[in-house]
Amino acid sequence: MRTRSQGQRKLAVESVAYGFGYTAVLVWAGTALVASFTGGEANPYWPAIPGLRTDTTGALAFAVAVVGLVLSKYLQLQRRGEPPAERAAARPAGLNLVQAAAETAAFLGTGVVIYLSLNAVTHPFTLRLQLTHLWPWPSEGTVRVIALAVCLAAVAVTRYLRATAGPPGQSSAVAETSDAAA
């Protein structure tokens, strides 16, 4: 049996993870705007840390956004799916993790597509260049196509998992057939 204080702690962790993820998205979006409209991506993001380039900050922020948003969504799905004792068991935690990852991938993948499409308008010659100084591959154009594929898969998985989740505490809204009935 879960106590009220355990529930409060989990909600606090969920909320802090969401705050980190949300803020990291803002940092990444800011660095993407710098990259799209200026040549200042090699400049320090924050002058108090002179060696930390703006584009490196953006890459780090994107990673923090992935972790923070997936964790917060997973904890939210777990919290909402906890059934009262008299109802059927909640959906498996693995499915909640897949749904959290898919929803985050759809959101962040959309951001990447928008950013790289904006780059294609403001300076199309960069589509053939490597995405970041951190890795020699892939190019901006390749990442844009990969992000589109990620969005396609993530949105499809999200739609399917939401449709089959049913109300909290029920294992599925879609009737499943057994082997004997088939």
Neighbours of 48 (CB within 10 A): 7
pTM: 0.77
What span, in angstroms and rounded, lies between the C-alpha atoms of 67 and 83?
Answer: 26
Range of the domain at 109: 8-165
What span, in angstroms and rounded, lies between the C-alpha atoms of 73 and 141?
Answer: 30
User: What confidence score (pLDDT) does residue 66 get?
Assistant: 97
Is residue 154 in a domain? yes
pLDDT band at residue 87 using 50, 70 and 90 as cut-offs? very low
Q: Is 169 helix (H, G, I), strand (E, B) or coil?
A: coil
Is residue 172 in a domain? no
For the stretch 51-80, pLDDT in tens is 888 888 999 999 999 999 999 999 999 988
Is residue 151 in a domain? yes
Total number of domains constituting the chain: 1
pLDDT band at residue 83 using 50, 70 and 90 as cut-offs? low
For the stretch 137-175, pLDDT in tens is 888 888 899 999 999 999 999 999 999 886 654 545 444
Is residue 180 in a domain? no
Residues forming beta bridges with residue 139, ordered by sequence position: 130
Is residue 102 in a domain? yes
Taking CA atoms, 147 is separated from 5, 87, 150, 152, in Å, by: 40, 40, 5, 9
